[in-house]
Amino acid sequence: MLFDVFAHSFFNPEPEFSAAELLMMFHFYFVGNPEGIVFDVASGPFSTAIWQPMAAVLERRGVRLRTGEGAVHFARTSDGRHRITSSKGQVYDVDACILAPSVPALQQLVAESPGLGHPRGAAPEDPGAGHCWREQVAAQTVTARFAVWRLWLDRPSAPGRAPFVGTTGLGLVDNISLYPLFEDESRDWAARTGGSVVELHAYALPDAIEEPEIRADLLRALHELYPETRAAKTLDERFLLRQDCPAFRPGAHPQRLRVDTPDPTLYLAGDFAHTPFPTALMERAASTGILAANHILHHHGAAEEPLWSVPPRGPLARLIHRKGLRHPG
């Protein structure tokens, strides 16, 4: 049961999730981490609580942000810089680049940019490190679909409910969040209308299940667990069914992409990239972003950002020593 919950926390079905990855998570979240796992949430919508304030900080430091505009093609300028064409037809020439999209978006970018990943001066048709890297990108896979369903209901949840519960073995549902209990915008809406905002998540969905079946199963679980919602009218809803989370299949480790690439002016960041220390999900996305930025800072002779993680050795390593076994690392 625990393995299933953990594999689902990383959006992967348990039978397809690497045991090594699972052990690394246990180390990261529990045995290697004296503070234990702490759930923290933003008290407002991400847009106003995180992204807009962060954008303001960056812009005050001279950063130009271009949201709503994707990179669609990479080429080289005559002096070897990256020439990026955007979905709005804009062209940007840059010295160095960090690519941090999802796996399918990275694969599309690489497929449509034959020179991407080759070191400066190498021809796209040259065999070599750039060619291997491009094959490695193409070999990446995503795991099964996930669904997120947010419902605005016309009545409140029962008093004493937890803001968030994780579940397993109750059908497709993996967790239920009651937004008015932790987020200001939902709390205000619930106070004004007497309603509630409920979010249901289902991860690692089997391929054969279609959207109507997913909705029906999630609603059944909500009604069973929170009977006060049975008679509720749905005033509004948002339903997402997506498939872009990275897979971590057994045996796939040698194919994992690293932050650095054969091109010393091109780096990767994201929750799919390998780190030399335990990380996952948002921590991995943030850590690889910092590692990628540090490569570029180093190149320019600027101070690098320190990066903290849990100690790499856990209590099991001590047991291995006590038994006189050799520790591989």
Q: Judged by CB under 6 A, which of 49, 165, 281, 297 binds ligand FAD? A: 281
| DSSP result, 38-99 | -----SS-HIIIIIHHHHHHHHHTTPPP-TT--EEEEEE-TTS-EEEEETTS-EEEES-EEE
Nearer to ligand FAD, 104 or 128 (CB): 104
Q: Judged by CB under 6 A, which of 105, 129, 316, 317 binds ligand FAD? A: 105
Q: Is residue 70 involved in binding ligand FAD (CB under 6 A)? A: yes
Tokens of 286: 């943030």
266 has which bridge partners? 97
Closest approach, Cβ 268 to ligand FAD, in A, equals 10
Q: Judged by CB under 6 A, which of 285, 290, 296, 317 binds ligand FAD? A: 285
- Is the Cβ–Cβ distance between 293 and 161 less than 8 Å? no
Dihedral, 132, 138, 140, 141 alpha carbons, nearest 10: -160
Q: Rounded to an integer, what distance in angstroms lies between the CA atom of residue 169 and that of residue 173?
A: 8
Q: Is residue 173 involved in binding ligand FAD (CB under 6 A)? A: no
Q: Is residue 278 involved in binding ligand FAD (CB under 6 A)? A: no
Tokens of 25: 């998570």
For the segment 201-240, give every residue that binds ligand FAD (CB under 6 A).
201
- Is the Cβ–Cβ distance between 156 and 305 less than 8 Å? no
Provide φ and ψ at 289, rounded to 5°. -65, -45
Q: Is residue 32 involved in binding ligand FAD (CB under 6 A)? A: no
Which span sits near ligand FAD by CB under 6 A: 18-26, 102-110, 210-218, 296-304?
102-110
- Is the Cβ–Cβ distance between 113 and 71 less than 8 Å? no
Q: Judged by CB under 6 A, which of 157, 271, 279, 294 binds ligand FAD? A: 271
Q: Rounded to an integer, what distance in angstroms lies between the CA atom of residue 27 and that of residue 18?
A: 14
Place of tokens 């220390």: 277
Query: Which H or E element spans position 208?
Result: none
Kindly write out the interface string for residues 125-144 of this chain, putting x where it contacts ligand FAD by CB under 6 A and - elsewhere.
--------------------
H helices of the chain, in order, are 2-9, 19-26, 46, 52-60, 103-112, 129-139, 184-193, 211-225, 281-299, 315-322
Tokens of 295: 């490569």
Size of residue set near ligand FAD by CB under 6 A: 15
| CA 305 remoteness from chain centre | 22
Q: Is residue 100 involved in binding ligand FAD (CB under 6 A)? A: yes
Nearer to ligand FAD, 122 or 281 (CB): 281
Nearer to ligand FAD, 295 or 313 (CB): 295
Q: Is residue 183 involved in binding ligand FAD (CB under 6 A)? A: no
For the segment 148-167, give every residue that binds ligand FAD (CB under 6 A).
148
Closest approach, Cβ 217 to ligand FAD, in A, equals 17
Nearer to ligand FAD, 226 or 272 (CB): 272
Closest approach, Cβ 50 to ligand FAD, in A, equals 12
Interface with ligand FAD (CB under 6 A): 70-71, 100-102, 105, 109, 146, 148, 201, 270-271, 281-282, 285
